Structure 1
Amino acid sequence: MHEVDEILLHSMVIGIGATLVMDLWGCIQQRLFKSPSLDYALVARWLGHFARGRFRHASIMAASPIANERAWGWIVHYAIGIVFAALLVYLWGVEWVRNPTLAPALVVGVGTVAVPFFVMQPAFGVGIAGARTPSPTITRLKSLAAYTAFDLGLFLAANVWALRGA
């Protein structure tokens, strides 16, 4: 298999697996803490407004919906997981996929939480790291927990995927 194809395959499998772990954590969090799940439709709504030249909102929830935003939101959610996995595989190489270690997944994980804190949440109108939400500390802890689950998912998915070659 060509190296680029191999990296893409690893990235897809590991990214989807890690995103599934994140979503599983979201379900657990929802049941244990009666906490609403993340609404990925809002991510699609935000991206959908790019075509109209709008990149920042006072409140993404007040922005006009886009067609099929819920479905697009889930597609984008998994695509982002694949992109972060591709970054991990690119930076640490295919050898990391064969022998995954936790540290690289956690290093990439810092980036996974930086994106919502410093890009998405401000663009959604809730401030840097959710500073304008009713409970910024809770918002930050939920984000950290979700993205930590994703980081651990990168490691777990890579380990499961590595077993196929064992």
Structure 2
Amino acid sequence: MNVPLSVVFIGIGATAVTDLWGVARRTMFDIPPPNFGMVGRWIGHMAHGQFRHNSIEKSSPIFGERVIGWTAHYLIGVAFAALLVVIWGQSWIYNPTIGPALAVGTGTVAAPFLIMQPGMGAGVAASRTPHPASARLQSLITHAVFGLGLYISGWVVQYSYAI
């Protein structure tokens, strides 16, 4: 088993599950999916030394911001999958269990609450948004879905090695 490649597949798979949740969420509840172009804009401005914005939507556009944002989204998913394997060990890939996957998935909600949202102008844990409690709940649910995606993707990777 190639552990680094497995981590990449698990991270990409879990992120794809999260994106599917975004589509389902829009269809079922009319909640728009995240705009990863704004993430790309935030990252793009970092190259110019600006790490915090009052409102990322009002900041000047960055060339390729959508590509930057989507790429970062998937690379972060892979990094979080690597975190799962670092914490629970390579044995998790051989025998994926849902507990560690959900723990990492829900734990990763700290990243948007403490880094992304404040940096993009939404405040700590979306405190500057029109409906902070709703935004927090949606973030937590989305990261729990990511955790479920880690488990599902781990199972698929483990099963693919068994074939």
TM-score computed with the length of structure 2 as normaliser: 0.95
Task: For residue 121 of structure 1, report the CA deviation from its aligned partner.
Answer: 0.4
**Which residue number corresponds to residue 148 of structure 1?**
144
Task: For residue 107 of structure 1, report the CA deviation from its aligned partner.
Answer: 2.2
Q: How many residues align?
A: 162
Runs of 4+ in 1 over 6 A off after TM superposition: none
Report the secondary structure of 2:133's partner residue.
helix
**Contact 2:42-2:51 within 8 A present in 1 as well:** yes
Q: 2:135 aligns with which of 131, 136, 139?
A: 139
Report the secondary structure of 2:32's partner residue.
coil
1:10 and 1:89 mapped to 2: Cα distance? 10
Q: 2:30 aligns with which of 31, 34, 37?
A: 34
Report the secondary structure of 1:85's partner residue.
helix
Report the secondary structure of 2:61's partner residue.
coil
Amino acid paired to 2:8: M
TM-score computed with the length of structure 1 as normaliser: 0.93
**Corresponding position: 1:111 with 2:107:** yes
Measured against aligned partners, the alpha-carbon deviations of 1:31-79 in whole angstroms (never above 9, x if no partner) come to: 1111111001111111111111110000011111111111111111000
Aligned-residue CA RMSD (Å): 1.1
**Which residue number corresponds to residue 66 of structure 2?**
70
**Contact 1:10-1:89 within 8 A present in 2 as well:** no
**Contact 1:15-1:84 within 8 A present in 2 as well:** yes
**Which residue number corresponds to residue 89 of structure 1?**
85
What percent identity do the matched residue pairs reach? 50
1:36 and 1:107 mapped to 2: Cα distance? 26
2:3 and 2:84 mapped to 1: Cα distance? 10
1:135 and 1:37 mapped to 2: Cα distance? 16
**Contact 2:43-2:68 within 8 A present in 1 as well:** no
**Contact 1:7-1:90 within 8 A present in 2 as well:** no
Amino acid paired to 2:20: L
Task: For residue 95 of structure 1, report the CA deviation from its aligned partner.
Answer: 1.1
**Which residue number corresponds to residue 55 of structure 2?**
59
1:142 and 1:108 mapped to 2: Cα distance? 17
**Contact 1:41-1:74 within 8 A present in 2 as well:** yes
Report the secondary structure of 2:108's partner residue.
helix
